Structure 1
Amino acid sequence: MNSDEQSVEWSVVPSGIGPLLLAATGTGLVSVVFHAHPPVREKALGQLRTRLGAEPVQSPGSARLAEPIRQLAAYFTGGLKEFTLPLDWSLTSGFHREVLRELASGVPYGTVVGYGDLAARVGQPGAAQAVGAAMGSNPLPVVVPCHRVVESDGGLGGFGGGLEAKRQLLALEGVLPQPLF
């Protein structure tokens, strides 16, 4: 990996569910972090520094981040149904990466899938709890749509951004009714 691929640029952007920290390497978008207020942001940047071995550089006008920012803004206004971004999968591996890649390619906008169903899709029926762990460690939420994974009994399940954010994302996609107020 050359130094440009290893360098990490980041910015905080507004969204329909609060501020998001976006980080990208030369390979692609590597991280999306919810609730990117200063304490959360500092913790996330520390984790990126440790996991990627590079000092994250704040770069709000970054060419690397321009397209992720544009696509996320379009998604939150209802104008984008499918992300077409290069992704850097280096913050996940093994079963988690396999599940997240299946989620990204196989669960389209406006649909949901059960934890157990997603486990079966990657050849691991009975691994619903492991799928839940993969969702909880998803480094690219919203773009890799872990909000579309729900419990088999119709419950929402968990969500790293909080259940209210999950409800808002599913309502945006037409899966749940919009809140009355």
Structure 2
Amino acid sequence: MLYKTEYSSLVGEILLVAEDENLIGLWIVGQKYFMGALKEEPIEKPDFPIFIKTKQWLDDYFAGKQPDMALLSLKPKGSDFRQLVWNVLCHIPYGQVVTYGDIAKEAALRLNKPTMSAQAVGNAVGHNPISIIIPCHRVVGTNGSLTGYAGGIDKKIKLLELEGVDTRAYFVPKTGSAL
């Protein structure tokens, strides 16, 4: 059984979805890939224990603290490759950014392959079903482009600035599929 609740944040309404005692989704309402590949409509249950913990985590995060994601039981659903990429995302430190190429190198290393496509990594990053907590907003293009955030580049900038990242060092692309 799937459960849901909403959370109001500085980047808009957020939908939380849980299965059992695990958070399986956190989407900014209206974002690309909203609700991912969920097969059923979740039941409203705002007092579900994982939601109480997640809302506290989000309160702390949006207050400028650095809450520990280990406090939450996260179970994003996806292929083995996506799981690997999302695991790499979990190790990006608060207030820092990495490139899609950096993640591709780490994924290749973990898979014992000589190289990995940054495009394949970008696809996995874009389909992250637990945004903000699994920090896909901390990934930028190799050229300094603030590209590829399913919630929207404006929200990516807000999240990075909240974490103290000087976004003036990056740019918003004029064209591209991530806009």
Aligned residue number for residue 133 of structure 1: 123
CA contact (8 A) 1:9 1:64 kept: no
Q: Distance in 2 between matches of 1:129 and 1:177?
A: 23
Cα 1:63–1:81, aligned 2, differ >3 Å: closer, same or farther?
closer
What value does the CA root-mean-square deviation take over the aligned residues?
Answer: 2.0
Check if 1:32 corresponds to 2:26: yes
| Equivalent residue pairs, number | 160
Deviations 1:112-163 (A, max 9, x none): 1110110101115341111110111111110110000101111111110000
- Per the normalisation by structure 1, the TM-score is 0.81
Check if 1:107 corresponds to 2:128: no
State the identity as a percent.
35
Residue in structure 2 matching 1:159, options 149, 153, 176? 149
Q: Distance in 1 between matches of 2:13 and 2:153?
A: 16
Which structure's residues are more often helix, by fraction?
1
Counterparts of 1:1-181 in structure 2, within 5 Å, are 7-35=1-29, 44=35, 47-48=37-38, 50=39, 55-84=41-70, 85-89=72-76, 91-104=77-90, 106-123=91-108, 125-176=115-166
| Residue identity opposite 1:173 in structure 2 | E
Q: Distance in 1 between matches of 2:50 and 2:116?
A: 39
Give ranges in structure 1 of 5+ residues lacking alignment: 1-6
Give ranges in structure 2 of 5+ residues lacking alignment: 169-179
- Per the normalisation by structure 2, the TM-score is 0.82
CA contact (8 A) 2:157 2:167 kept: no
